[in-house]
Amino acid sequence: MATAKTKKIPKTTKQTASDAQLEHQRLESLINSMSDGVIATDLQGCIALYNAAALDVLDVNAIKKGDPVESVLKLTNEAGDPLDTRGIVLGSKTQLISRDYKIKYTDGSTAALYLSVSPVHLGYGKKGDSGFVIIIRDITREKSLEEERDEFISVISHELRTPVAITEGAVGNALFLADKTGDIEKVKEALENAHKQAVYLEDMINDLSTLSRAERGVLEENIEDINAHEFVESLVSLYAPDAEKKGLSLKSDIDPTLEILHSSKLYVQEIMQNFITNAIKYTESGSVTIHAKQMKDGVQFAVSDTGIGISKGDQARVFDKFFRAENFQTRQQNGTGLGLHVTRKLAQLAHAEISLESELGKGSLFTIYFPNLK
Protein backbone atom coordinates (compact mmCIF):
# COMPACT_ATOMS: atom_id res chain seq x y z
CA MET A 1 0.00 0.00 0.00
CA ALA A 2 1.38 3.27 -1.03
CA THR A 3 1.67 5.74 1.77
CA ALA A 4 1.06 9.34 1.08
CA LYS A 5 4.05 11.38 1.98
CA THR A 6 3.24 14.48 4.06
CA LYS A 7 5.29 17.22 2.65
CA LYS A 8 5.78 20.66 4.21
CA ILE A 9 4.27 23.09 1.73
CA PRO A 10 6.49 26.14 1.29
CA LYS A 11 4.81 29.54 1.81
CA THR A 12 3.92 30.93 -1.53
CA THR A 13 4.54 34.55 -2.39
CA LYS A 14 0.75 34.95 -2.50
CA GLN A 15 0.36 33.74 1.08
CA THR A 16 3.13 36.04 2.35
CA ALA A 17 1.44 38.99 0.65
CA SER A 18 -1.93 38.20 2.24
CA ASP A 19 -0.26 37.80 5.65
CA ALA A 20 1.28 41.20 5.26
CA GLN A 21 -2.08 42.60 4.18
CA LEU A 22 -3.75 41.09 7.25
CA GLU A 23 -1.06 42.53 9.49
CA HIS A 24 -1.53 45.91 7.84
CA GLN A 25 -5.30 45.77 8.37
CA ARG A 26 -4.79 44.83 12.02
CA LEU A 27 -2.50 47.79 12.59
CA GLU A 28 -4.85 50.10 10.74
CA SER A 29 -7.85 49.05 12.83
CA LEU A 30 -5.71 49.35 15.97
CA ILE A 31 -4.76 52.97 15.34
CA ASN A 32 -8.27 53.80 14.14
CA SER A 33 -9.76 52.45 17.35
CA MET A 34 -7.57 54.77 19.46
CA SER A 35 -9.38 57.69 21.03
CA ASP A 36 -6.32 59.95 20.69
CA GLY A 37 -5.51 61.49 17.33
CA VAL A 38 -2.41 59.98 15.71
CA ILE A 39 -0.50 61.58 12.82
CA ALA A 40 2.75 60.25 11.38
CA THR A 41 4.94 62.48 9.27
CA ASP A 42 8.14 62.03 7.31
CA LEU A 43 11.34 63.86 8.17
CA GLN A 44 10.14 66.99 6.36
CA GLY A 45 6.92 67.12 8.41
CA CYS A 46 4.66 65.92 5.57
CA ILE A 47 1.76 63.72 6.63
CA ALA A 48 2.17 60.02 5.80
CA LEU A 49 -0.54 58.47 7.99
CA TYR A 50 -3.34 59.49 10.36
CA ASN A 51 -6.25 57.93 12.20
CA ALA A 52 -9.96 58.75 12.51
CA ALA A 53 -9.59 60.47 15.91
CA ALA A 54 -7.05 62.90 14.38
CA LEU A 55 -9.76 64.13 11.99
CA ASP A 56 -12.00 64.80 15.00
CA VAL A 57 -9.39 66.72 16.96
CA LEU A 58 -8.29 68.69 13.87
CA ASP A 59 -11.94 69.23 12.91
CA VAL A 60 -11.44 68.33 9.23
CA ASN A 61 -13.19 65.77 6.99
CA ALA A 62 -10.04 64.45 5.36
CA ILE A 63 -6.28 64.98 5.23
CA LYS A 64 -4.29 64.73 2.03
CA LYS A 65 -1.28 62.49 2.47
CA GLY A 66 1.87 64.45 1.74
CA ASP A 67 0.43 67.75 3.00
CA PRO A 68 2.63 69.63 5.48
CA VAL A 69 1.56 69.05 9.08
CA GLU A 70 1.12 72.78 9.73
CA SER A 71 -1.64 72.95 7.09
CA VAL A 72 -3.99 71.11 9.46
CA LEU A 73 -2.36 71.41 12.88
CA LYS A 74 -2.18 75.14 13.64
CA LEU A 75 -0.60 75.45 17.06
CA THR A 76 -0.82 78.58 19.19
CA ASN A 77 0.46 79.39 22.65
CA GLU A 78 -1.97 79.80 25.58
CA ALA A 79 -2.49 83.46 24.70
CA GLY A 80 -3.54 82.43 21.17
CA ASP A 81 -0.40 83.68 19.33
CA PRO A 82 0.43 81.46 16.33
CA LEU A 83 3.44 79.15 16.69
CA ASP A 84 5.72 77.42 14.17
CA THR A 85 4.11 73.94 14.16
CA ARG A 86 6.57 72.43 11.71
CA GLY A 87 9.52 73.81 13.72
CA ILE A 88 8.10 72.29 16.92
CA VAL A 89 7.61 68.87 15.29
CA LEU A 90 10.91 68.72 13.41
CA GLY A 91 12.78 70.14 16.41
CA SER A 92 11.70 67.25 18.68
CA LYS A 93 14.92 65.31 19.08
CA THR A 94 13.48 63.28 21.94
CA GLN A 95 9.84 62.81 22.91
CA LEU A 96 8.05 66.12 23.53
CA ILE A 97 4.95 66.09 25.74
CA SER A 98 3.02 69.28 26.43
CA ARG A 99 -0.36 70.39 27.78
CA ASP A 100 0.35 74.06 27.13
CA TYR A 101 -0.40 74.38 23.43
CA LYS A 102 -3.69 75.20 21.80
CA ILE A 103 -5.00 74.35 18.36
CA LYS A 104 -6.58 77.09 16.24
CA TYR A 105 -9.45 76.16 13.92
CA THR A 106 -10.37 77.85 10.63
CA ASP A 107 -13.32 79.66 12.24
CA GLY A 108 -10.88 81.26 14.71
CA SER A 109 -11.94 79.18 17.74
CA THR A 110 -9.32 77.33 19.79
CA ALA A 111 -9.08 74.18 21.93
CA ALA A 112 -6.55 73.22 24.59
CA LEU A 113 -4.35 70.39 23.36
CA TYR A 114 -2.38 67.50 24.76
CA LEU A 115 0.49 67.14 22.30
CA SER A 116 3.11 64.42 22.13
CA VAL A 117 5.74 64.33 19.37
CA SER A 118 8.12 61.37 19.12
CA PRO A 119 10.87 60.99 16.57
CA VAL A 120 10.67 57.48 15.07
CA HIS A 121 13.21 55.59 13.08
CA LEU A 122 11.10 52.98 11.31
CA GLY A 123 10.17 55.06 8.36
CA TYR A 124 7.08 56.70 7.09
CA GLY A 125 7.14 58.42 3.75
CA LYS A 126 9.91 56.88 1.66
CA LYS A 127 10.84 53.37 2.68
CA GLY A 128 13.49 53.36 5.34
CA ASP A 129 13.02 57.02 6.20
CA SER A 130 12.64 58.27 9.72
CA GLY A 131 9.88 60.60 10.80
CA PHE A 132 7.66 61.71 13.67
CA VAL A 133 4.58 60.34 15.40
CA ILE A 134 2.29 63.04 16.78
CA ILE A 135 -0.44 62.25 19.30
CA ILE A 136 -3.11 64.88 19.95
CA ARG A 137 -6.08 65.09 22.32
CA ASP A 138 -8.59 67.89 23.04
CA ILE A 139 -8.20 68.68 26.77
CA THR A 140 -10.29 71.87 26.89
CA ARG A 141 -12.76 70.45 29.42
CA GLU A 142 -10.05 69.02 31.68
CA LYS A 143 -8.21 72.35 31.57
CA SER A 144 -11.27 74.40 32.45
CA LEU A 145 -12.04 72.07 35.37
CA GLU A 146 -8.44 72.45 36.55
CA GLU A 147 -8.67 76.24 36.26
CA GLU A 148 -11.97 76.26 38.13
CA ARG A 149 -10.49 74.10 40.90
CA ASP A 150 -7.41 76.36 41.20
CA GLU A 151 -9.59 79.46 41.34
CA PHE A 152 -11.83 77.79 43.93
CA ILE A 153 -8.87 76.94 46.17
CA SER A 154 -7.36 80.39 45.83
CA VAL A 155 -10.67 82.19 46.59
CA ILE A 156 -11.49 79.90 49.52
CA SER A 157 -8.08 80.24 51.11
CA HIS A 158 -8.23 84.01 50.68
CA GLU A 159 -11.76 84.12 52.15
CA LEU A 160 -10.73 81.92 55.10
CA ARG A 161 -7.54 83.79 55.89
CA THR A 162 -9.17 87.11 56.85
CA PRO A 163 -11.75 85.81 59.40
CA VAL A 164 -9.23 83.38 60.88
CA ALA A 165 -6.70 86.21 61.33
CA ILE A 166 -9.34 88.50 62.88
CA THR A 167 -10.51 85.74 65.24
CA GLU A 168 -6.96 85.00 66.30
CA GLY A 169 -6.27 88.70 66.92
CA ALA A 170 -9.51 89.22 68.85
CA VAL A 171 -9.04 86.17 71.09
CA GLY A 172 -5.40 87.14 71.73
CA ASN A 173 -6.57 90.64 72.61
CA ALA A 174 -9.26 89.28 74.99
CA LEU A 175 -6.66 87.14 76.77
CA PHE A 176 -4.32 90.09 77.08
CA LEU A 177 -7.06 92.37 78.43
CA ALA A 178 -8.31 89.76 80.90
CA ASP A 179 -4.78 89.26 82.17
CA LYS A 180 -3.58 92.86 82.32
CA THR A 181 -6.64 95.05 82.91
CA GLY A 182 -9.48 92.76 83.93
CA ASP A 183 -11.77 95.18 82.05
CA ILE A 184 -14.70 92.84 81.45
CA GLU A 185 -16.44 95.17 78.94
CA LYS A 186 -13.38 95.33 76.70
CA VAL A 187 -12.88 91.55 76.97
CA LYS A 188 -16.53 91.07 75.97
CA GLU A 189 -16.13 93.38 72.98
CA ALA A 190 -13.12 91.43 71.71
CA LEU A 191 -14.91 88.11 72.20
CA GLU A 192 -17.99 89.38 70.37
CA ASN A 193 -15.78 90.25 67.42
CA ALA A 194 -14.25 86.76 67.47
CA HIS A 195 -17.71 85.20 67.72
CA LYS A 196 -18.94 87.16 64.67
CA GLN A 197 -16.04 85.82 62.62
CA ALA A 198 -16.64 82.26 63.83
CA VAL A 199 -20.29 82.54 62.73
CA TYR A 200 -19.16 83.78 59.32
CA LEU A 201 -16.78 80.82 59.00
CA GLU A 202 -19.58 78.46 59.95
CA ASP A 203 -21.86 80.01 57.28
CA MET A 204 -19.17 79.61 54.71
CA ILE A 205 -18.55 75.97 55.59
CA ASN A 206 -22.30 75.32 55.41
CA ASP A 207 -22.47 76.97 51.96
CA LEU A 208 -19.55 74.84 50.79
CA SER A 209 -21.05 71.61 52.03
CA THR A 210 -24.44 72.42 50.45
CA LEU A 211 -22.63 73.27 47.23
CA SER A 212 -20.81 69.97 47.18
CA ARG A 213 -24.10 68.11 47.83
CA ALA A 214 -25.81 70.09 45.08
CA GLU A 215 -22.96 69.50 42.65
CA ARG A 216 -23.32 65.78 43.12
CA GLY A 217 -26.66 66.53 41.55
CA VAL A 218 -29.26 64.24 43.07
CA LEU A 219 -32.46 65.47 44.61
CA GLU A 220 -32.61 63.86 47.98
CA GLU A 221 -35.46 61.41 48.17
CA ASN A 222 -37.33 63.39 50.77
CA ILE A 223 -40.22 64.97 48.93
CA GLU A 224 -42.61 66.04 51.62
CA ASP A 225 -45.95 67.75 52.03
CA ILE A 226 -45.06 71.34 52.86
CA ASN A 227 -47.77 73.48 54.37
CA ALA A 228 -46.78 76.65 52.49
CA HIS A 229 -48.68 78.95 54.81
CA GLU A 230 -47.06 77.59 58.00
CA PHE A 231 -43.71 77.48 56.21
CA VAL A 232 -43.75 81.24 55.48
CA GLU A 233 -44.88 82.03 59.02
CA SER A 234 -42.04 79.95 60.43
CA LEU A 235 -39.54 81.85 58.25
CA VAL A 236 -40.92 85.15 59.52
CA SER A 237 -40.50 84.15 63.16
CA LEU A 238 -37.03 82.72 62.48
CA TYR A 239 -35.71 85.91 60.85
CA ALA A 240 -37.70 88.61 62.68
CA PRO A 241 -34.95 89.08 65.34
CA ASP A 242 -32.24 89.60 62.65
CA ALA A 243 -34.43 92.14 60.82
CA GLU A 244 -35.27 93.89 64.06
CA LYS A 245 -31.60 94.25 64.96
CA LYS A 246 -31.18 96.32 61.78
CA GLY A 247 -34.38 98.31 62.37
CA LEU A 248 -36.15 96.60 59.44
CA SER A 249 -39.67 95.22 59.42
CA LEU A 250 -40.09 91.66 58.19
CA LYS A 251 -43.52 91.13 56.65
CA SER A 252 -45.43 88.33 54.96
CA ASP A 253 -47.86 88.46 52.06
CA ILE A 254 -49.62 85.12 51.88
CA ASP A 255 -52.22 84.06 49.32
CA PRO A 256 -55.25 82.77 51.34
CA THR A 257 -55.82 79.97 48.80
CA LEU A 258 -52.35 78.54 49.43
CA GLU A 259 -52.24 74.74 49.27
CA ILE A 260 -49.81 72.02 50.24
CA LEU A 261 -46.60 71.98 48.18
CA HIS A 262 -44.90 68.64 47.35
CA SER A 263 -41.19 69.27 47.12
CA SER A 264 -37.91 68.79 48.94
CA LYS A 265 -38.41 70.72 52.18
CA LEU A 266 -34.69 70.86 52.73
CA TYR A 267 -34.06 72.60 49.40
CA VAL A 268 -37.08 74.93 49.57
CA GLN A 269 -35.95 75.98 53.04
CA GLU A 270 -32.32 76.46 52.06
CA ILE A 271 -33.24 78.54 49.00
CA MET A 272 -35.71 80.77 50.85
CA GLN A 273 -33.26 81.25 53.72
CA ASN A 274 -30.62 82.44 51.25
CA PHE A 275 -33.00 84.98 49.70
CA ILE A 276 -34.14 86.25 53.12
CA THR A 277 -30.66 86.54 54.68
CA ASN A 278 -29.48 88.45 51.59
CA ALA A 279 -32.50 90.76 51.66
CA ILE A 280 -31.81 91.60 55.32
CA LYS A 281 -28.07 91.88 54.72
CA TYR A 282 -28.32 94.24 51.75
CA THR A 283 -31.09 96.50 53.14
CA GLU A 284 -30.29 99.38 55.46
CA SER A 285 -33.78 100.80 55.96
CA GLY A 286 -37.37 99.88 55.18
CA SER A 287 -38.66 96.35 54.96
CA VAL A 288 -38.27 92.81 53.72
CA THR A 289 -41.39 90.91 52.62
CA ILE A 290 -41.88 87.19 52.03
CA HIS A 291 -44.59 86.48 49.45
CA ALA A 292 -46.33 83.19 48.67
CA LYS A 293 -48.82 82.69 45.85
CA GLN A 294 -50.74 79.58 44.76
CA MET A 295 -50.06 78.65 41.11
CA LYS A 296 -51.68 76.00 38.92
CA ASP A 297 -49.39 73.15 39.93
CA GLY A 298 -47.07 74.56 42.52
CA VAL A 299 -46.28 77.54 44.70
CA GLN A 300 -44.52 80.77 43.83
CA PHE A 301 -42.50 82.31 46.63
CA ALA A 302 -40.77 85.68 46.48
CA VAL A 303 -38.64 87.85 48.72
CA SER A 304 -38.68 91.61 48.17
CA ASP A 305 -36.60 94.25 49.90
CA THR A 306 -36.13 98.01 49.90
CA GLY A 307 -32.35 97.69 49.90
CA ILE A 308 -29.33 98.68 47.82
CA GLY A 309 -30.57 96.94 44.64
CA ILE A 310 -28.52 95.27 41.91
CA SER A 311 -27.42 96.96 38.67
CA LYS A 312 -28.65 95.54 35.35
CA GLY A 313 -25.15 94.29 34.50
CA ASP A 314 -24.74 92.51 37.83
CA GLN A 315 -28.18 90.89 37.69
CA ALA A 316 -26.92 88.45 35.09
CA ARG A 317 -23.97 87.49 37.28
CA VAL A 318 -25.27 87.28 40.86
CA PHE A 319 -25.80 83.51 40.50
CA ASP A 320 -22.19 82.90 39.39
CA LYS A 321 -19.80 81.16 41.78
CA PHE A 322 -18.05 83.73 44.05
CA PHE A 323 -19.69 86.74 42.39
CA ARG A 324 -20.08 89.78 44.66
CA ALA A 325 -21.07 93.25 43.42
CA GLU A 326 -18.18 95.71 43.32
CA ASN A 327 -19.69 98.45 45.44
CA PHE A 328 -19.10 99.93 48.83
CA GLN A 329 -22.43 98.81 50.35
CA THR A 330 -21.86 95.17 49.34
CA ARG A 331 -18.23 95.14 50.49
CA GLN A 332 -19.31 96.43 53.91
CA GLN A 333 -21.06 93.10 54.43
CA ASN A 334 -19.36 89.76 54.94
CA GLY A 335 -20.04 87.35 52.13
CA THR A 336 -18.59 84.55 50.06
CA GLY A 337 -20.51 85.00 46.81
CA LEU A 338 -21.54 81.35 47.11
CA GLY A 339 -25.09 81.66 48.46
CA LEU A 340 -26.92 82.45 45.21
CA HIS A 341 -24.78 79.98 43.26
CA VAL A 342 -25.84 77.24 45.66
CA THR A 343 -29.43 78.51 45.44
CA ARG A 344 -29.43 78.15 41.66
CA LYS A 345 -28.02 74.62 41.85
CA LEU A 346 -30.64 73.56 44.39
CA ALA A 347 -33.39 75.20 42.32
CA GLN A 348 -32.33 73.15 39.28
CA LEU A 349 -32.54 69.97 41.35
CA ALA A 350 -36.02 70.90 42.57
CA HIS A 351 -37.09 71.87 38.98
CA ALA A 352 -37.76 75.37 40.28
CA GLU A 353 -37.50 78.58 38.23
CA ILE A 354 -35.88 81.72 39.60
CA SER A 355 -36.32 85.27 38.34
CA LEU A 356 -34.91 88.56 39.54
CA GLU A 357 -36.06 92.16 39.25
CA SER A 358 -34.03 94.91 40.82
CA GLU A 359 -33.21 98.57 40.63
CA LEU A 360 -30.14 100.21 42.14
CA GLY A 361 -30.99 102.18 45.25
CA LYS A 362 -34.62 100.97 45.25
CA GLY A 363 -34.55 97.27 46.12
CA SER A 364 -34.74 93.74 44.76
CA LEU A 365 -37.34 91.05 44.16
CA PHE A 366 -36.22 87.42 43.94
CA THR A 367 -39.05 85.13 42.75
CA ILE A 368 -39.03 81.34 42.67
CA TYR A 369 -41.66 78.94 41.41
CA PHE A 370 -41.64 75.42 42.88
CA PRO A 371 -43.67 72.86 40.94
CA ASN A 372 -45.26 69.98 42.84
CA LEU A 373 -42.97 66.97 42.51
CA LYS A 374 -44.38 63.47 42.44
Q: How many CA atoms lie within 13 A of 200 on its CB side?
A: 21
- Please report how close the Cβ of residue 46 comes to ligand ADP at its closest, in angstroms: 55
Q: Of 263, 245, 336, 349, which Cα lies nearest the Cα of 301?
A: 263
The residues near 111 (Cβ < 8 Å, ≥ 6 apart) are 57, 102, 103, 105, 138, 140
Binding mask 288-327 for ligand ADP (x = CB under 6 A): -----------------x-xxxx-------x----xxx--
Per-residue exposure over 206-216, b if at least 16 CB sit within 10 Å of its own CB, e if not: ebeebbebbee
- Please report how close the Cβ of residue 320 comes to ligand ADP at its closest, in angstroms: 8
- Please report how close the Cβ of residue 334 comes to ligand ADP at its closest, in angstroms: 7
- Please report how close the Cβ of residue 59 comes to ligand ADP at its closest, in angstroms: 38
Interactions with ligand ADP, residue window 263-292 (CB under 6 A): 278-279, 282
Binding mask 224-263 for ligand ADP (x = CB under 6 A): ----------------------------------------
Distance CA 253, CA 303 (A): 10
Interactions with ligand ADP, residue window 351-370 (CB under 6 A): 364
**Which DSSP category does 91 fall into?**
T
Cα dihedral 181, 184, 186, 190 sign = positive
Of positions 118, 330, 348, 367, contacts ligand ADP by CB under 6 A: 330
Interactions with ligand ADP, residue window 29-88 (CB under 6 A): none
Pick 133 or 214: Cβ nearer ligand ADP: 214
Distance CA 246, CA 305 (A): 13
Q: Of 186, 193, 147, which Cα lies nearest the Cα of 170?
A: 193
Q: Give contact residues for ligand ADP (rule: CB under 6 A).
A: 278-279, 282, 305, 307-310, 318, 323-325, 330, 335-341, 364
